[in-house]
Chains A and B, each alone.
Chain A
């Protein structure tokens, strides 16, 4: 067994253990966990953290379909999240639909929107597409907040939308598993896509769009389909988020920062892979939560006063991300477990790949 295979096996085992723990831990009660001396956080905090993490697994995995497989760096995917959230939100708050009936329309609405903007936008290449998609992402959020009809805000305006609380026993657990289900669906979809004619067509487009076209790939249709698929999954996460959070507004449904975060997660974990973006989402989300002080873990460092910790941590995060992008452009999974071994040559090759 080669070193890389050993690494791969270790990563897979570790990954399974983490997933098993994450999935099963909520089933144990706080008391039970304490009795067993398991490092469980307080229940509420755990669920919030786990649900948000699963939400980012969906977004990073979905982004990977258009950004990683197809090679189109979409910078405005948060629009799909917001459209999903507002579709569910409007149907529940204004049309009084039940949540489970409203939820399936979230991915549908996001996908339709992706087809409409994708047709013109996906003609653009490289940076042009990235910038244009960012513009769309920002514009949709602004429109949702500011569209009025006869002086009344259509989508709740600046004061947002409130939904009735979804009545299920153990709501936290319910929404955690719902979001986890969405994450599972995203990963399964990616897995299936990569093994299909569709997936090979997307990768061909990424590698050389002109060559893909002359071997018979309908590049426009494939790109739009990939964009719509990413949108549908992201919209699904938004739809779940809306009812979970009960309140939505422009700020929590269209956060520009999500655009950057989901891309960083996919990059960190490895674009174009099935599990990479999910792994990146878990790692980066935990890091973000740690930095914002949400985790009940603290480090005591000499010479660093306690109140400087968040600043130091931000700096560490920034440097870490820069290093990943420069030296492991194919993500950490490739870095540790891929075909190549971790050598100076690997770093040099990576540096060449990311340099002009």
Chain B
């Protein structure tokens, strides 16, 4: 069966430096995939390549077998690829509800709703991510965790088939992470494929069936979390000996 998303030798350079360097992997429909790697490993760059924000310098990206390399971001979005930004980018002058409704108004090509239906959809997505009570607040009144929730909500509202989440849990405390995890699970259960870029190991172990480790733009490992996180190269490149010991112990 053709995978939903298929990356072959994806390469992106800045100046002479390859931020993403020949990355190859594929994602099956309904999967929930973790992507980890140290700072500057190329995670965000990879996401920008998939969503069309960057043009590839090499390789190809296929969506259900059809190349989407070189498509403008809005076209990728219309195919059903939703994403968030590591540094959140809300529509500042709008309320929380309006932000999400705009996502619903546009997004994936399947049944773009009229205005009223978009606002209804916004309400149900806000319910899903736990922002229902704050729907009518301006974005400026939101806390950092809530802004991340809003970022996810707007992406979910676009009816994605594949959702790319860039460190939506960074900077959250343990309780907030549990909430966010619940939110990701809830979205995944609606049938959406999820790619989860994270630093927080607990998140990856807790929710992902499969994890990819990036380092210096290359794929270092790809497999089940418990296997990958015991991989010697991964431990050396990223996790550190202390973490490995703790993992073995607990």
Contact = CB atoms under 8 A, between A and B. Distances in A.
A207 B103 contact: no
Interface in A170-216: 195-197, 200-201, 203-204, 206-208, 210-216
B89 interface: yes
A218 interface: yes
A207 B93 CA distance: 7
A204 B94 CA distance: 9
A200 B105 CA distance: 8
B94 A216 contact: no
A219 interface: yes
A86 to B, nearest CB: 36
A217 interface: yes
A211 B89 CA distance: 6
A215 B94 contact: no
Given A215-B106, A215-B154, A207 B73 contact: no
A30 B98 CA distance: 51
B157 to A, nearest CB: 8
A214 B51 contact: yes
B78 interface: yes
A207 B91 contact: yes
Contacts of A211: 85, 89-91, 154
Secondary structure dominating the interface of A: helix
A217 B90 CA distance: 15
Of B83, B89, B91, most A-chain CB atoms within 10 Å: B91
A204 B73 CA distance: 15
Given A195-B115, A200-B101, A200-B102, A216 B108 contact: yes
Contacts of A201: 102, 105-106
A214 B115 contact: no
Contacts of B101: 200
B158 interface: yes
Nearest to A217: B106
B74 interface: yes
B53 interface: yes
Contact of A213 (B77, B94, B98): B77
A215 B92 contact: no
A216 B89 contact: no
B155 interface: yes
Given A197-B105, A203-B93, A217 B74 contact: yes
A157 B103 CA distance: 51
Interface string A72-108: 0000000000000000000000000000000000000
B107 interface: yes
Contacts of B92: 207-208
A164 B76 CA distance: 55
B89 A215 contact: no
Contact of A215 (B72, B98, B158): B158
Given A200-B101, A207-B94, A216 B107 contact: yes
Interface in B98-134: 98, 101-103, 105-108, 112, 115
A4 to B, nearest CB: 15
B108 A214 contact: no
Contacts of A206: 93
B107 A204 contact: no
Contacts of A200: 98, 101-102, 105
Contacts of B77: 213-216
Contacts of B72: 213, 218, 220
Contact of B74 (A197, A207, A213): A213
Interface in B50-96: 51-53, 72-74, 76-78, 82-83, 85, 89-94
B71 to A, nearest CB: 11
Contacts of B94: 203, 207
Interface of A: 195-197, 200-201, 203-204, 206-208, 210-220, 272
**Across chains A and B, which 7 residue pairs bring their CB atoms closest together, nearest first?**
A207-B91, A216-B77, A216-B106, A211-B89, A213-B73, A208-B89, A216-B107
Interface of B: 51-53, 72-74, 76-78, 82-83, 85, 89-94, 98, 101-103, 105-108, 112, 115, 154-155, 158
Given A214-B53, A220-B72, 14 more contacts: A197-B105, A197-B106, A200-B105, A203-B94, A206-B93, A208-B89, A208-B91, A210-B89, A211-B90, A213-B73, A215-B106, A215-B158, A217-B74, A218-B72
23 contacts: A200-B101, A200-B102, A203-B94, A206-B93, A207-B93, A207-B94, A210-B53, A210-B85, A211-B85, A211-B154, A213-B72, A213-B74, A213-B77, A214-B77, A214-B82, A215-B77, A215-B82, A215-B103, A215-B158, A216-B74, A216-B78, A217-B106, A220-B72
